[in-house]
Structure formats: C-alpha cells, structure tokens
C-alpha cells in the first residue's frame, strides 16, 4: 500500500482523478487477494483429485477488476478550439493497473522486481513528463 500510495501521491500532485487513497487501496487489494489465494490453496484439506489450484486465475481477476476501475478514470470530451476529441485519464488508468501489478509482486515476495517496477513508474510519471513537455 505504501508503494501504491507514493504513485497515487504523484497522480494527486498532477491533479488527476485517482490519487493517493485509490492507488493505496488498489495495491493493497491486489496484495491481499493474491496472498489469500496462496493461503487458501495451502490450507485446503482435500485430495488433489478434487481440486486443482490455478493462481493465475486470481491475477486475471485482479487485472479485470482494476481495468474496470481504470476505465472509470478515462474521460472523453470535445475540444472547443480545434473541434477534435480529447481523452484524459489514460495515464492514471495505467498507473492503477501498475499499482495492482506491484501489489501482486509484493504478495509473491518479488521485492526487488516490485521495487524496481515502482521506481520505473515514478520515473515514467515524473521524468518522462518533464522531458515530453520540454522537447515535444
């Protein structure tokens, strides 16, 4: 949740629709759900013939749920100046998905991968935005 919170704080500083609390909850929920899947499978007291576990299904369900949440942050509007369409919120939707992925990584105890991904997302959201504004 801490890593998701830092990502959310960056989005909030950029005045985007999903901020600190949303990103914290997304990262925390992904971590919790992934961990619970592992715990449930380990604690099941049935024979292998009766139940098969597929941890990828839990990850798929998390991604599907976060995708719906991310879709709610995307706004399409008509731009008055040039008569074209404008779309906002795509980066915030992507950051929500990334926060969930980091939560899954933490739950699977992939701390170096999760930490590296966390640094990459902050670099992308801040440094690349600065370079984009300066050069494009």
Q: What's the pLDDT tens digit per position in 16-53?
A: 878 888 899 999 999 999 998 878 777 776 555 566 66
Q: How confident is the model at residue 111 (pLDDT cuts 50, 70, 90)?
A: very high
pTM recorded for the entire structure? 0.79
Whether the CB-CB separation of 11 and 95 falls below 8 Å is answered with yes
Count of domains forming the chain: 1
CA distance 122 to 108: 21
Domain span including residue 7: 2-135
**Long-range CB contacts for residues 118-127, cutoff 8 Å, separation at least 24:** 118/3, 118/6, 118/7, 121/7, 121/95, 122/6, 122/7, 122/10, 125/7, 125/10, 125/11, 125/14, 125/91, 125/95, 126/10
């Amino acid at each position: 949740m801490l890593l998701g919170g830092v990502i959310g704080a960056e989005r909030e500083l950029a005045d985007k629709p999903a901020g600190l609390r949303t990103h914290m909850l997304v990262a925390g929920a992904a971590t919790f759900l992934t961990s619970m899947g592992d715990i449930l499978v380990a604690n099941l007291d049935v024979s292998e013939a009766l139940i098969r576990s597929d941890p990828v299904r839990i990850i798929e369900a998390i991604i599907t749920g976060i995708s719906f949440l991310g879709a709610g942050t995307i706004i399409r509007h008509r731009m008055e100046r040039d008569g074209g369409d404008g779309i906002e919120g795509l980066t915030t939707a992507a950051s929500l998905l990334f926060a969930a992925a980091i939560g899954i990584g933490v739950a699977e105890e992939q701390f170096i991968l999760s930490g590296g991904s966390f640094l990459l997302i902050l670099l992308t959201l801040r440094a690349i935005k600065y370079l984009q504004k300066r050069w494009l």
